[in-house]
């Protein structure tokens, strides 16, 4: 009997592989960081061959370290950084260019032009998304328009486009070209009502349909790995974008349940059921997952810089040696000393959607220290999430009773307590906070009978700690007002890119 599910968790700064047992517990994990490429201000790229090499390496590493063979793996589930855009030769697998990462802002002017043409309502109605350079569609158009020969090759049917899930499956399965509904829904090219690629949107962005992968369910056997990779074939049975996978892994399976993932960015998602709920407050409506011929939908608010802001303290300023040091440094002062940090290095996401905002630190004095800046960095993550939750509650007309949290920074007690304080609702951290990988594992395991039902998954979810809000309503409002003053100073800054 197979004992494990292997989750491949391909993130923005690292690739991970995690083995899960029947109880949803972690048996083993391996991780590798890979190179971040910043060719110009606001541009972010990856070499997709680095993504593949690192993901394959950690998958092999975790199996070897745990003494597990391919025969012990019931299925593989894949979860991935979303919106990152990869273009390759569909026969040879040769990459056409570096992948354009979701954080990249090079298509902001194109998005401005589409909005000025009045296309915003059309895209939002069909895709659930706002027109923003965050999403894959305009990145793909940029590649076709700017890489020599790419458009001609695409029109001849020689090229394949995919988000990172598609790229990994292509490499794992020897040329299979698919994506799931959750990843497809993040491209600006996919109609979330019909669950099909949309010809009208493809025409607007001048994208040949032949580039696009086949869309499959998030939980089904879609192919098998090539035997040479792991010693035998293993079915790939789960695919979901990282935030949808985390929502599934947090057992937010009922309307009104919500989670926040603290990773490179910060992503809050609320389950809205089987119906599409259109946002009136600049949130995204997105496919959660498709399984058993049923599609669940979510409302989402995306914060571009969360853990990445802490990495900047480490790599850019050099005021901490490793990211985990930020909590002790921030806790060494009682407050931020009046400092407010808006980490808009790649613009602002929901609910502002300002591609021209840039990182800003205000309120400094001669008494400001690196500890104050560290504390302001943690506070900025909580404030951005509070902005998203306010918009989400307006859209859903549902009062949130608790927020489930996961991701690396969810381990930071100081941040989690401050998050509860500025939200005014309890923040609940589960025992297993690797819920992105866990969600992918659950989707794969359900497809092959490793788990029998979603009810079995819900029963496995357990609380590790609950953070209750301790801040007065008046203080909360005062702090949020100050935060939003700082946001206004960061907005619309990078005007020279227009």
User: Does 13 appear as a known binding residue?
Assistant: yes
Q: Is 263 annotated as a binding residue?
A: no
Q: Is 33 annotated as a binding residue?
A: no
Residue 408 marked ligand-binding:
yes
Q: DSSP letters along 454-469, please?
A: HHHHHHH--EEEEEPP
Q: How far apart are CA 321 and CA 317, in angstroms?
A: 10
Number of alpha carbons in the 13 Å side-chain half-sphere of residue 374: 24
Burial label for 67, CB within 10 Å (0-12, 13-18, 19+), is: exposed
272 touches 290 (CB < 8 A): no
Distance CA 17, CA 77 (A): 10
* Residue 375 known to bind ligand: no
Q: Is 60 marked as binding a ligand?
A: no
Element (H, E) at 167: helix 164-172
Q: Does 115 belong to an annotated binding site?
A: no
Place of tokens 């990145």: 139
Q: Is 82 annotated as a binding residue?
A: yes
Would the annotation count 264 as a binding residue? yes
Beta strands at 214-216 and 45-46: parallel, antiparallel or unpaired: unpaired
200 is in an annotated binding site: no
Question: Can you tell me the distance from the alpha carbon of 173 to that of 179, in angstroms, rounded to the nearest whole number?
Answer: 13
Q: Per-residue DSSP letters for 273-336?
A: ETS----SSS-EEEEEEEETTEEEEEEEEEES-SHHHHHHIIIII---SSGGGHHHHHHTSSS-
Neighbours of 284 (CB within 10 A): 25
Radius of gyration of the chain (CA): 21
In total, the chain counts a number of residues equal to: 498
Known binding-site residue numbers for glycerol: 82-83, 134, 242-243
Known binding-site residue numbers for ADP: 12, 16, 264, 307, 408, 412
Known binding-site residue numbers for ATP: 12-14, 264, 307, 311, 408
Known binding-site residue numbers for sn-glycerol 3-phosphate: 12, 82-83, 134, 242
Known binding-site residue numbers: 12-14, 16, 82-83, 134, 242-243, 264, 307, 311, 408, 412
């Amino acid at each position: 009997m197979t004992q494990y599910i292997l989750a491949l968790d391909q993130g923005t700064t690292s690739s991970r592989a995690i083995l899960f047992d029947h109880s949803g517990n972690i048996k083993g994990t391996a991780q590798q960081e890979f190179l971040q490429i910043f060719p110009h201000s606001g541009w972010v790229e990856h070499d997709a061959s680095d993504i593949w090499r690192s993901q394959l390496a950690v998958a092999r590493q975790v199996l070897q370290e745990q003494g597990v063979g391919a025969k012990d793996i019931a299925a593989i589930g894949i979860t991935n950084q979303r919106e990152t855009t990869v273009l390759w030769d569909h026969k040879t697998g040769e990459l056409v260019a570096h992948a354009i990462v979701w954080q990249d802002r090079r298509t902001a002017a194109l998005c401005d032009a589409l909005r000025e043409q009045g296309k915003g309502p059309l895209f939002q109605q069909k895709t659930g998304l706002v027109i923003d350079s965050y999403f894959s569609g305009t990145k793909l158009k940029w590649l076709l328009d700017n890489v020599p020969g790419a458009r001609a090759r695409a029109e001849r049917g020689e090229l394949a486009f995919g988000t990172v899930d598609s790229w990994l499956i292509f490499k794992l399965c020897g040329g299979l070209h698919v994506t799931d509904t959750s990843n497809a829904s993040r491209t600006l090219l996919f109609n979330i009502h019909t669950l099909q690629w949309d010809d009208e949107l493809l025409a607007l962005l001048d994208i040949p349909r032949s580039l696009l992968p086949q869309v499959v369910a998030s939980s089904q056997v879609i192919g098998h790995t090539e035997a040479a990779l792991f010693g035998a074939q293993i079915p790939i049975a789960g695919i979901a974008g990282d935030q949808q996978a985390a929502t599934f892994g947090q057992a937010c399976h009922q309307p009104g349940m919500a989670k926040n993932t603290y990773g490179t960015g910060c992503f809050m998602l609320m389950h809205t059921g089987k119906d599409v709920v259109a946002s009136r407050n600049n949130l995204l409506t997105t496919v959660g997952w498709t399984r058993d011929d049923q599609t669940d939908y979510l409302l989402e608010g995306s914060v571009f810089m969360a853990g990445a802001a802490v990495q900047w303290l480490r790599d850019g300023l050099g005021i901490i040696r490793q990211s985990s040091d930020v909590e002790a440094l921030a806790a060494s002062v009682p407050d931020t000393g009046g400092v407010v940090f808006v980490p808009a290095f790649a613009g602002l996401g929901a609910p502002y959607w300002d591609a021209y905002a840039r990182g800003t630190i205000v309120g400094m004095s001669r008494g400001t220290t690196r500890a104050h800046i560290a504390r302001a960095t943690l506070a900025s993550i909580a404030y951005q999430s509070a902005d998203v939750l306010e918009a989400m509650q307006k859209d859903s007309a549902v009062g949130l009773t608790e927020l489930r949290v996961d991701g690396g920074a969810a381990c930071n007690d100081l941040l989690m307590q401050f998050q509860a304080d500025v939200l005014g609702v309890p923040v609940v951290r589960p025992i297993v906070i690797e819920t992105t990988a866990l969600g992918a594992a659950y989707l794969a395991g359900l497809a092959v009978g490793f788990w029998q039902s979603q009810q079995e998954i819900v029963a496995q979810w357990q609380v590790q700690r609950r953070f209750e809000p301790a801040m007065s309503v008046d203080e909360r409002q005062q702090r949020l007002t100050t935060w939003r003053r700082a946001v206004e100073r960061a907005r619309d800054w990078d005007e020279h890119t227009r």
